[in-house]
């Protein structure tokens, strides 16, 4: 179970947790749900590894699966798919990510299923590890069909999450209902629709954060979002929701053990 640490004549076996994802998991400048879980009482012996980069699709996550196996984790949390959805809805995103991430084919729900299935099987074959697939968060905060782009995003997110549930069931791994919990909040208090993808606002938010020193939540409020920073990435409300689900999953499994040193 993870690494070994000596303390006062006792050996604490640390619990190693690998987190596979994209920008929400890399957490550069946005809400850090991993840090949230790590700082909770009782989780001091948990050590998290981040296997993530902004813009990653499920295909890129599959390329990192071997690194995770080599790290010998006890648990793996997977949050992948938001960029697959965005690339499926916005041709501009597809072109940009296709070149940047060197995608061998056009993103589609079928390819997403293939990659997620391959990720789970690679992780499960490498070591006896507990795996949890988190559903993709809602993109935008309008649950209706009033705007055609938001409607297509909603449909595509739901389709990809249905694939995740199928993969989790078929491979006997855990499905974390992050989308379902967050969608309840969206339905209870709808917000604005996500109607276009533009890179300029992301650069503007970086300026606000690192030059003007605005907090992640303040940026989200200034942008008009309740549960997001920018309609895609998490703020503290949605981030804590994910952290709660991950914490619950991890606490349900074996915890780090402390035994006398010999």
- What residues pair up with 12 in beta bridges, in sequence order? 5, 258
In the chain, which ranges are continuous DSSP H helix? 23-26, 33-38, 58-70, 82-89, 91-100, 109-126, 148-170, 178-188, 200-210, 216-222, 236-251
Q: What integer pLDDT is reported at residue 38 of this predicted model?
A: 98
Q: Quick one: what percent of the chain has pLDDT higher than 90?
A: 87
Assigned domain for 108 exists? yes
Q: What is the spatial distance between Cα 46 and Cα 64, in angstroms, rounded to a whole number?
A: 21
Q: What string of DSSP letters covers 120-170?
A: HHHHHHHSS-EEEEEPPPPSSS--SSSSHHHHHHHHHHHHHHHHHHHHHHH
- Tens-digit pLDDT profile for residues 164-195: 999 999 999 999 999 999 999 999 999 999 99
Assigned domain for 140 exists? yes
The more confidently predicted of residues 81 and 260 is 81
CATH code at 157? 3.40.50.1110
The confidence band for 144, taking pLDDT boundaries of 50, 70 and 90, is very high
Assigned domain for 96 exists? yes
Q: What is the spatial distance between Cα 31 and Cα 234, in angstroms, rounded to a whole number?
A: 6
The more confidently predicted of residues 255 and 39 is 39
Q: What integer pLDDT is reported at residue 14 of this predicted model?
A: 84
Assigned domain for 258 exists? no
Question: What does the block give as tokens for 12?
Answer: 């604490």
Which phi and psi (to 5°) does residue 213 adopt?
A: 65, 35
Domain assignment of residue 213, given as a range? 4-252
Mean pLDDT of 102-124: 97
Assigned domain for 225 exists? yes
Assigned domain for 261 exists? no
Assigned domain for 257 exists? no
Position 6 pLDDT exceeds 70: no
The pTM of the full predicted model, rounded to 2 decimals, is 0.91
Assigned domain for 262 exists? no
Q: What integer pLDDT is reported at residue 128 of this predicted model?
A: 76
Q: What is the spatial distance between Cα 165 and Cα 160, in angstroms, rounded to a whole number?
A: 9
The confidence band for 11, taking pLDDT boundaries of 50, 70 and 90, is low
The confidence band for 255, taking pLDDT boundaries of 50, 70 and 90, is low
Domains contained in the chain, number: 1
114, burial (CB in 10 Å: exposed 0-12, middle 13-18, buried 19+): middle
Q: What is the spatial distance between Cα 199 and Cα 61, in angstroms, rounded to a whole number?
A: 23
């Amino acid at each position: 179970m993870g690494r070994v640490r000596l303390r006062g004549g006792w050996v604490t076996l640390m619990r190693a947790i690998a987190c596979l994802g994209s920008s929400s998991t890399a957490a550069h400048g946005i809400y850090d749900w991993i840090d949230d879980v790590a700082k909770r009482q009782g989780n001091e012996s948990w050590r998290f590894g981040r296997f993530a980069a902004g813009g990653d699709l499920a295909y890129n996550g599959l390329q990192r699966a071997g690194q995770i196996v080599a790290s010998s984790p006890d648990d793996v949390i997977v949050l992948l798919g938001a960029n697959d959805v965005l690339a499926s809805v916005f041709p501009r995103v597809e072109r940009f990510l296709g070149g940047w991430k060197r995608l061998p084919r056009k993103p589609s729900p079928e390819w997403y299923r293939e990659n997620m299935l391959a990720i789970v099987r690679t992780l499960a074959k490498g070591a006896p590890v507990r795996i949890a697939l988190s559903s993709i968060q809602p993109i935008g905060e309008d649950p209706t069909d009033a705007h055609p782009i938001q409607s297509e995003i909603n449909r595509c997110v739901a389709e990809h999450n249905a694939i995740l549930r199928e993969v989790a069931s078929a491979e006997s791994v855990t499905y974390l209902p992050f989308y379902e919990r967050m969608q309840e909040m969206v339905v209870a208090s709808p917000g604005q629709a996500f109607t276009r993808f533009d890179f300029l606002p992301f650069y503007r938010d970086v300026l606000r954060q690192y030059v003007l020193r605005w907090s992640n939540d303040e940026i989200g409020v200034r942008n008009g979002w309740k549960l997001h920073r920018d309609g895609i990435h998490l703020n503290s409300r949605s981030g804590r929701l994910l952290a709660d689900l991950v914490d619950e999953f991890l606490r349900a499994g074996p915890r780090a053990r402390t035994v006398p040193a010999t």
